[in-house]
Amino acid sequence: MKTCAIIPVSRFAHAKTRLSPTLSPSEREGLLRAMLMDVSEALRRHVDRVLVISADADVLEYAYSLGVDILEERGRKDLNGALEQAAEFCIPEFERVMITPSDIPLIGKTDITELLHRASHFDVVIAPAKGGGTNTLIFRPGSMRLRFGDCSFFEHVSEAESRGLSVSVYDSFYLSLDVNTAEDLGEIILHGEGTHAREYLRKLSFIVRPSRGSDRLEVSRSF
């Protein structure tokens, strides 16, 4: 079954706003670049095509330099609008699309072959994110509406079931770790050996320690 992986990427200037107390704008952009490298390298090994969709020309130029295909987001869209555009673009050539955000740098440590194998037995394969989001969604383009946003994992499962589609939930620790908060950076440092994202955070002198406070991890700079 021909599969296209779709990676939506926000503008560099809007990247990872929830990390602004911890990282400067240029560091947030650097982290996004490193994570996009991790995600695109992992996906390229397994699918027929990787497509990055963004409204930002700099993001598209960078994605192109990584050797993936690019699609410019048309009009003023939200994330779901951008993804619907990319999925529609894939309809003529691909039986399956695999939507994966750019902020899951540990995807290379998961069994992507198993995810794709499930997609040959189920209409929809979905991997939950920490906090209720969706970190991978595989489906036939055009077969369901997209509901990224708050608690989208549950919304996607209901959407698929309401259309009579069979659903397989792929339960993976590494896939669940998307990067939104300082504590998430700690998880990448702990578990992300061999990733560009971890190397980048190390270069910025971040270290992580276990904590018994309100967060499980304490992330700080070592200088």
Quick check: 35 binds ligand PEQ (CB under 6 A)? no
Rounded-to-integer distance, Cα 142 and Cα 115, Å: 20
Name the minimum Å distance from CB 157 to ligand PEQ.
12
3-state secondary structure 92-126: CCCCEEEECCCCCHHHHHCCHHHHHHHCCCCCEEE
Q: Is 153 in contact with 163 (CB distance < 8 Å)?
A: no
Q: Does 155 bind ligand GTP (CB under 6 A)?
A: no
Q: Does residue 97 contact residue 144 with C-beta atoms inside 8 Å?
A: no
Does the protein bind ligand PEQ through residue 70 (CB under 6 A)? no
Least Å distance, CB 34 to ligand GTP, is 13
Is residue 110 involved in binding ligand GTP (CB under 6 A)?
no
Applying CB under 6 A, does 102 fall inside the site for ligand GTP?
A: yes
Smaller CB distance to ligand GTP: residue 34 or 123?
34
Encoded one letter per residue, x for contact with ligand PEQ by CB under 6 A and - for no contact, window 104-143 reads: -------------------------x-x-xx---------
Question: Three-class SS of residue 19?
Answer: helix
Cα 192 to Cα 121: distance, rounded to the nearest angstrom: 31
The residues that touch ligand PEQ, with contacts defined as CB under 6 A, are 79, 129, 131, 133-134, 148-149, 152, 178, 180
